[in-house]
Chains A and B, each alone.
Chain A
Amino acid sequence: MMKKQSLTKTMNPGVHFLINYAVPIIFTILIAFAIPLSGLSGEYFIRELMIRLSRDSFLILALLIPVMAGMGMNFGIVLGAMAGEIGLIFITDWRIIGLSGMLLAMLISTPIAILLGYFAGIVLNRAKGREMVTGFMLAFFMNGIYQLVVLYGMGNIIPISDSSILLPRGYGIRNAISLLGIRQVLDKLIPLEIGGILIPVASLLVIATLCVFIIWFRKTKLGQVIRTVGQDNDIARTLGIDVGRTRILSIVISTVLACYGQIIFLQNIGTMNTYNSHEQVGVFAIAALLVGGASVSKATIPNVFVGVILFHTMFVVSPRAGKELIGQAQLGEYFRIFVSYGVIAFSLALYAWRKRIEKENERKKAMAFKRGILVK
């Protein structure tokens, strides 16, 4: 309510809409130019988009609950992705294939994800107001620990029996692991093909289930508590809510979901870059969500899907468009990296700027109120 009042005071509704949805609008315009330039066929395009929709949505959905708790974009989902990858390393080592392998990977990585999420929650509680930058640095820090465990610990302290996934020196996991055993097991579980385009029914069902879960979760008592904490920490505290614990819980849920999301992502790809697959997870998921019209304080399920479609259309199109335009695919490659980072920078700056205006307006109002009392 505060937000609406303070903004409408200074701007008319049209400008308000433009600013609120600046990112999706700019994106739509960019894509409208880039699609004809790329010269890609409609069929290829839809196939690519279908793959990406089923591959990435789960990871992006994992971001929603921390936003609800007022903790902003959870850059720490990288931690969940790492947990998922550790599960995948183990099932590859034990040669458990098919859907059971994938489920086992999820089972193994769940406790790791809970542990990492709990740790992240504690750290973020100590950095209130700076959650995003802290989560971001935490992901980098954990990447070091992950390297230490996987590159030096595995095959050394942690037993790995399959020497083919180890480095030639006898310990440490290879840079790339083939996940052929579980490749697209979920995507192809319920085979359906429409006009030559494979529809990954089971993956989409899983995503739909998660959406239903999130909608349901919002209405549960815990969901309400998380939303109260997100709106105002002090009010939540006076209502007797343990704010710290609630925030930790929301990060744990997000981390576990991200862990499953990464497993779903990698079963589609079919190979895992042991040391790089998780690195960009946070950036891409967050950029996609923001492209979908979400902000740091508000993110909905429609934002997720609009975001996936817009953001990944850009991903599919930009290298080709770059090649056609300048004759260099590399240019398109850089362009999409720039767009991912740029979108995040733009959205964060816009959000911070707006927050500041609101704060100032509130202060002015409080001052005016005080003065009124004094006059009386």
Chain B
Amino acid sequence: MKEKIQNIIENFGLPRIIIFLFLVLLFILTPFVGVRFDTSINDVIVRFGMNGILVLSLVPMVKSGCGLNFGLQLGIIAGLLGAVISIEMETIGFAGFFTAVGIAIFFAVVFGFLYGLLLNKTKGDEMVVATYVGFSSVSFMCIMWLMLPFKSPNMIWAYGGSGLRTTINTKGYWFHILTDFFQINIGSHIVFPTGTILFFALLTFLVWAFFRTKMGTAMTAVGSNTDYAKSCGVNVNKMRIISVVLSTVIAAIGIIVFEESFGFIQLYMAPLYMAFPAIAALLLGGASVGKASIKNVIIGAFLFQGILSMTPSVINNIIKSDMSEAIRIIVSNGMIVYALTRIMRVR
């Protein structure tokens, strides 16, 4: 029995078990501290829909052996570009949303290709290079947001200033366009964001299906055994670039869905640390530096968003102070440190 438990802990990882138990505890505590259980569930579902695609975007790069995508911000920037350009073009509703997605995909392909070339040159050190590529591109875009000639009065500073605002409202353009699509009310406190979840399901299915095609299999082979893949005649560098482009494109779509649900486009330094929560979520779902699956994405996004939305409400009610920020930092970054210290197969 003892061995069995030890085995489970070994397989699942102690931090994951602790976090899982912590989440269960939070859910058990909800009725006792005066937090409604159904609103909590609703929060988790909404946040899951918002963030799920960003977590999903990490999968192709992990599969092809490029490691965790610490340069997720590149995709986010492509998404932001798509979003602000669609508003500049005054496109509204579904047309606006898909214009944003279309433009974002274009930028994401370009960025992803260049980013992929760089990561191929820096094989073995992808993660640390990616981190700083992400950071420097976010700060570079800060300059661009100030300088780019956007004209829409809904986006630029009202008086005297120039450049885009730090937050741009998507209301009147494509706010909640997916969320309100076939929205289902369950009881009085659960509003199920059908459109967002369906869109997430669609993308997840596409990624799942892609990894069952010939190219997807080749990509997985590159990640799990580079030499074997090479001897089978797979072009390793090309596969890696495709995976990076894929990751960047999905991240770009992911941030637009996030904004659609959240209601605001956040520019400037806001995307700086956005890679970490997504990575932490994937790891929490059972992925490692060299291995990730769709299952990890769904479980991880759910657990992580569960922690994020439950901690403030429950803990605040227990100790009357907001410790959620510190807990969030410890959980997400602790999870990443843990994953990085796991022994990984030698490349």
Chain A contact residues, CB within 8 Å of chain B: 123, 126-127, 129-130, 132-134, 136-138, 140-141, 143-145, 147-148, 151-152, 169, 326, 328, 330-331, 334-335, 337-338, 341-342, 344-345, 348-349, 351-353, 355-356
Contacts and interface: CB of A to CB of B under 8 A. Distances in A.
A330 B337 contact: no
A123 B336 CA distance: 12
A129 B124 contact: yes
Contact of B341 (A127, A132, A140): A127
B21 to A, nearest CB: 19
A342 B340 contact: no
Interface stretch (B30-38, B299-307, B321-329): B321-329
B128 A133 contact: yes
Nearest to A333: B142
B291 to A, nearest CB: 16
B129 A352 contact: yes
Contacts of A355: 124-125
A351 B136 CA distance: 17
Contacts of B343: 126
A44 to B, nearest CB: 25
28 contacts: A123-B341, A129-B124, A134-B341, A137-B337, A138-B333, A140-B333, A141-B330, A141-B334, A143-B333, A144-B330, A144-B333, A147-B325, A147-B326, A326-B147, A330-B146, A337-B139, A338-B140, A338-B143, A341-B136, A345-B133, A345-B135, A348-B122, A352-B121, A352-B129, A353-B121, A355-B124, A356-B121, A356-B122
Contacts of B340: 127, 130, 133-134, 137
B140 A352 contact: no
Contacts of B321: 152, 169
Given A134-B337, A152-B321, A337 B142 contact: yes
A330 B161 CA distance: 11
A303 B113 CA distance: 34
Given A345-B136, A348-B132, 8 more contacts: A123-B341, A132-B128, A147-B326, A342-B136, A345-B132, A352-B121, A352-B128, A353-B122
Contact of A141 (B133, B146, B329): B329
B118 interface: yes
Contacts of A331: 143, 146-147
A141 B337 contact: yes
A338 B136 contact: yes
Nearest to A287: B132
A337 B272 CA distance: 12
A144 B326 contact: yes
A136 B326 contact: no
B49 to A, nearest CB: 26
B337 A123 contact: yes
A317 B325 CA distance: 35
Nearest to B144: A334
Contacts, number: 121
Contacts of B341: 123, 126-127, 134
B131 interface: yes
A72 to B, nearest CB: 8
The 10 A-B pairs of least Cβ separation, nearest first, read A144-B329, A345-B132, A352-B122, A352-B125, A144-B330, A341-B136, A126-B341, A338-B139, A141-B333, A334-B142
Contacts of A330: 146
A345 B129 contact: yes
Name, among B118, B128, B327, the residue most crowded by chain A CB atoms within 10 Å (CB to CB).
B128
A334 B128 contact: no
Contacts of A352: 121-125, 128-129
A341 B140 CA distance: 9
Contacts of B128: 130, 132-133, 136, 348, 352
Contacts of B123: 352, 356
Nearest to A327: B162
Given A123-B337, A345-B129, A348-B128, A140 B143 contact: no
Contact of B326 (A126, A148, A345): A148
B276 interface: yes
Interface residues of B, number: 39
Given A123-B341, A145-B330, A151-B326, A140 B276 contact: yes
Given A134-B340, A141-B329, A144-B330, A328 B162 contact: yes
A102 B131 CA distance: 36
Contacts of A137: 276, 333, 336-337, 340
Given A127-B341, A134-B337, A356-B123, A143 B329 contact: yes
Contacts of A338: 136, 139-140, 142-143
A352 B121 CA distance: 8
B19 interface: no
Given A147-B326, A152-B326, A349-B122, A344 B132 contact: yes
Contacts of A127: 340-341
Contacts of A348: 122, 125, 128-129, 132
Interface string B297-325: 00000000000000000000000010101
A331 B70 CA distance: 26
A148 B136 contact: no
A147 B329 contact: yes
Contacts of A151: 326
A261 B70 CA distance: 29
A165 B327 CA distance: 23
A169 B321 CA distance: 10
Contacts of A134: 337, 340-341
Contacts of A152: 321, 323, 326
A137 B327 CA distance: 15
B139 to A, nearest CB: 4
A145 B162 CA distance: 40
B129 A334 contact: no
Name, among B132, B133, B142, the residue most crowded by chain A CB atoms within 10 Å (CB to CB).
B132
A352 B347 CA distance: 15
B102 to A, nearest CB: 28
Nearest to B145: A334
A124 to B, nearest CB: 8
Contacts of B328: 144
Contacts of B147: 326, 331
B236 interface: no
Contacts of B190: none
B229 interface: no
B203 interface: no
B277 to A, nearest CB: 11
Interface in B66-121: 70, 118, 121
